[in-house]
Amino acid sequence: MVGVRLGPETHQLLSVEDSLQELEMLAETAGIEVVGSVTQSLNRPNSRTYIGKGKLEELKLLAEELNAKVVLLMMNSRRVTNVNLKRNSRRL
């Protein structure tokens, strides 16, 4: 799972950690076993992949190491971001 902290957390309803915990519960309800998570703090999301280039590389390595089948992202994104993330995930 990936969580991104955008700007000051004081303006968010839930902390990134609380949001990831909720996402984990939803994943488990859907029958998905959560094997790891990463977080990143950004002023604004990367327009192509939402997370930064370094975090994307870290995520690829972690997913490979843990033999992850699915990567869940806690985000509101545009369609182009989803397409770019899918392209990058194929390189795992």
Whether the model pTM is above 0.95: no
Give the domain ranges of the chain: 2-89
Residue 48: the pLDDT is 83
Q: What are the 10-residue block averages of pLDDT along the chain, 92 residues in total?
A: 79 81 93 92 86 92 91 67 60 50
Distance of CA 28 to the CA centre of its chain: 16
**At what angle are helices 79-89 and 53-65 packed, to 10 degrees?**
50
Tokens coding 45: 């999301």
Query: Has domain 2-89 been given CATH number 3.30.70?
Result: no
- At 61, the amino acid letter reads L
Distance of CA 80 to the CA centre of its chain: 16
